[in-house]
A and B are shown apart, each in its own frame.
Chain A
Amino acid sequence: METADAVVVEDLRKSYGTTHAVAGVSFTVRYGEIFSLLGPNGAGKTTVLEILEGYRRKDAGNVVVAGFDPGDRRTGRQLREQIGLVLQELAVEPYLTVRESVSRNAGYYPNPRDVGEVLGLVGLAGKEKSKVKSLSGGQKRRLDLALGIIGNPRVLFLDEPTTGFDPSARRGAWEVIRGLSGLGTTILLTTHYMDEAQELADRVAVISGGKIIEEGTPATLGGRDLARARISFTLPGGHSAADLPVRAAADEDGRLFIEADEPTELLHRLTGWALDQGTTLPGLTVDRPSLEDIYLGLTAAQDAAATPGDAPVPRRRMRRRT
């Protein structure tokens, strides 16, 4: 069965005991897209992902991945020939070499990528003959990613792929993910780093308390593109707010700010005034709310609305799921 979308999720539900880990989630991922599920720890991200990967059974709803139902054992092998996955927890066998590990998994797929090419792609070229146990943590992660993409998957699932990376390793991983996307791989990733979603995702969905509370592109999520610009600065010494040519309010840190739909003219008047006065506007910035601001606003509102019974993390065994 061929579907137009790589991943279709409709009203997906999953409970652990009385805890509704996933409480009616719907989204679609188109072929070739990078789609990111954002959400705090325990929001249900990993549960959704593990249902899509075929590890967990859904309670209700409809799920299709690359044309297959991941809950159907009869097509499990066919499905897994089409998908690649990198789990949150690192799992590599210690005694093989890097090349052997990847070659072994390559043999499981009908149409694997070239082992050398994949090792180059993830930045492990030159490490082919190293034993896995001698690799650093970051290198093991890259090997894990290599194992995820060796089968030349149409759909790649990445569960918090850069958690615990140092900043340069994260940039490196982003390059790899963008590269894979450029080769036509559909990517569904979870993260709780806003900059990661901003950098990589074509579309994002914010999941909290087992529900999707907002969906959009990183630029437009939560009306971000429509939000007003904010000019902020510190009042120069020897002047009071009344001296300014425009009306400014003070925030809790004592900085002044002005919000405007179109800040160009305001900014011109403000800086013109400062130059006339022979002074400066210390700490002058113009910005719009970041994806993180939007995200924090969305999840905070959700937290406030959540009833105590909605605690999304089951107590036992599932404590590291998100």
Chain B
Amino acid sequence: MSSQAPAAGAPVRRNTAALVWHQIRYEQLSFWRNPQSAFFIFAFPLVFFAILAGVFGNATLAKIGGRSVTGLQYYTSTITAVSVMGACYSQLAVTLSLRRQEGILKRLRGTPLPAWVMFVGLVAHCIMLSLIDAALILGMGLLYGIPMPSHWAAIIVTLVVGAAAFCALGVAVASLIQNAEAAPAVVQFIFFPLVFISGTYFHITSRFLNDLASVFPVRPFNQALLNPFAFDRGFAGHQLLVLAIWGIVGGFVAIRRFRWDPRPE
């Protein structure tokens, strides 16, 4: 038993890096203990990819910017993007709404854990899931026969920027959702139309839709991944900028509007 009382005013805190690591570890543990959510984050995009890749294969799906893109190349990019969005945006929005509704966030707010450490734990977790998702889909794409990409730095940076931006948007949406029952519906209501007009499941040729979708974060993310996966090109600067701006907007809303208490004043 610990007999020494806490020294008033001069507590010996563990160092910040250790605290962040502690939080990341337990965030991981909570996630892997919930097999349902693990299934949807990994198996769902893989099944989708297997079906689309099986249907379209190595046939040319579209001419984009004068270059032929096969179905495999196209869907390796877009399904990677959609799985990152699922792991970051959808997961965070639903998880945070649920934790708030159940009073878990409020309870956590009563501990000395700094808020930013909690968020770092969540975001690190989401980025890690995103990278695993991307690796699984790329691995499957390689099995189906897409050429090995060569611009790895562009792939990693795009994934991390995309994951971070969609995490920020997930927290922002969680801040605006009132009750957890509505969370999955609100999340999908925002997500699905965007995913469709952004060409995630089929190539969009309408110029109007493409211009419209380019303003939102999903299509830029798709394009930034098509660069290394389909065109053997590196960074898509413009698209990454759009993603980063959305991330900053999401982060701003998240910081301003985030609520811990299920029944705020």
Q: Which residues of A contact B (CB under 8 A)?
A: 1-2, 16, 53-57, 66-67, 77-78, 80-83, 85, 87, 89-93, 95-96, 100, 104-105, 107-114, 117, 131, 147, 151-152, 154, 184, 317-318, 320-321
B33 with A90: CB separation less than 8 A: no
**Which A residue's beta carbon lies closest to that of B264?**
A317
Give the segment of B53-61, B62-70, B101-109, B166-174 that binds chain A: B101-109
Q: How many residues on B have C-beta within 8 angstroms of the other chain's C-beta atoms?
A: 36
170-219 of chain B: CB within 8 A of chain A: none
A81 with B1: CB separation less than 8 A: no
A66-B8, A67-B9, A317-B264 are known; give 15 further A-B pairs, CB within 8 A: A80-B111, A87-B107, A87-B110, A91-B102, A93-B99, A104-B22, A104-B26, A107-B23, A110-B11, A111-B2, A113-B2, A152-B2, A152-B6, A154-B6, A321-B263
Q: Tell yes or no: B12 within 8 A of A by CB.
A: yes
Q: Which residues of B contact A108 (CB under 8 A)?
A: 19, 111-113
Distance to closest chain A CB from B69 (angstroms):
41
Known: A2-B9, A80-B111, A151-B111. A96 touches B263 (CB 8 A): no
Q: Which residues of A contact B30 (CB under 8 A)?
A: 93, 95-96
Q: Which residues of A contact B4 (CB under 8 A)?
A: 111
Once bound together, how far apart are the Cα atoms of A93 and B1, in whole Å?
26
Once bound together, how far apart are the Cα atoms of A108 and B4, in whole Å?
17
B261 with A151: CB separation less than 8 A: no
Q: Which residues of B contact A (CB under 8 A)?
A: 1-2, 4-9, 11-14, 19, 22-23, 26, 29-30, 33-34, 99, 102-104, 106-107, 109-114, 261, 263-265
B114 with A96: CB separation less than 8 A: no
A sample of 21 inter-chain contacts (CB < 8 A) reads: A1-B9, A16-B265, A54-B110, A55-B110, A78-B11, A87-B103, A87-B106, A93-B104, A95-B33, A96-B30, A104-B22, A107-B23, A108-B111, A110-B13, A113-B1, A152-B5, A152-B6, A154-B8, A184-B5, A320-B263, A321-B263
The 3 closest A-B pairs by CB, nearest first: A91-B103, A110-B11, A95-B33
Q: Which residues of B contact A107 (CB under 8 A)?
A: 14, 19, 22-23, 26
Secondary structure of the A contact surface, majority rule: loop
Once bound together, how far apart are the Cα atoms of A117 and B1, in whole Å?
6
Known: A57-B265, A95-B34, A96-B29. A82 touches B106 (CB 8 A): no
Distance to closest chain A CB from B258 (angstroms):
14
Q: Which residues of A contact B113 (CB under 8 A)?
A: 108
B29 with A100: CB separation less than 8 A: yes
Once bound together, how far apart are the Cα atoms of A145 and B6, in whole Å?
19
Q: Which residues of B contact A321 (CB under 8 A)?
A: 263
Q: Which residues of B contact A100 (CB under 8 A)?
A: 26, 29
B2 with A67: CB separation less than 8 A: no
B6 with A111: CB separation less than 8 A: yes
Q: Which residues of B contact A57 (CB under 8 A)?
A: 265
Q: Which residues of A contact B103 (CB under 8 A)?
A: 87, 89-91
Distance to closest chain A CB from B174 (angstroms):
17
Q: Which residues of A contact B23 (CB under 8 A)?
A: 107
A91 with B6: CB separation less than 8 A: no
Known: A96-B26, A104-B26. A154 touches B104 (CB 8 A): no
B8 with A67: CB separation less than 8 A: yes
Known: A67-B8, A95-B34, A107-B19. A80 touches B2 (CB 8 A): no
**Which B residue's beta carbon lies closest to that of A185?**
B5
**Which B residue's beta carbon lies closest to that of A83?**
B110
Known: A110-B12, A111-B12. A91 touches B104 (CB 8 A): yes
**Which B residue's beta carbon lies closest to that of A147?**
B107
Distance to closest chain B CB from A86 (angstroms):
9
**Which A residue's beta carbon lies closest to that of B4?**
A111
Q: Which residues of A contact B29 (CB under 8 A)?
A: 95-96, 100
Contact of A55 among B2, B11, B13, B106 (CB under 8 A): B106
B5 with A55: CB separation less than 8 A: no
**Which B residue's beta carbon lies closest to that of A105?**
B111
Q: Which residues of A contact B19 (CB under 8 A)?
A: 107-108
**Most A CB atoms within 10 A — which of B14, B19, B265?**
B265
Q: Which residues of B contact A317 (CB under 8 A)?
A: 263-264
Q: Which residues of B contact A80 (CB under 8 A)?
A: 110-112
Q: Which residues of B contact A89 (CB under 8 A)?
A: 103
Once bound together, how far apart are the Cα atoms of A109 and B112, in whole Å?
7
Once bound together, how far apart are the Cα atoms of A78 and B102, in whole Å?
26
Once bound together, how far apart are the Cα atoms of A109 and B14, in whole Å?
8
Distance to closest chain B CB from A161 (angstroms):
15
Q: Which residues of B contact A104 (CB under 8 A)?
A: 22, 26
A55 with B261: CB separation less than 8 A: yes
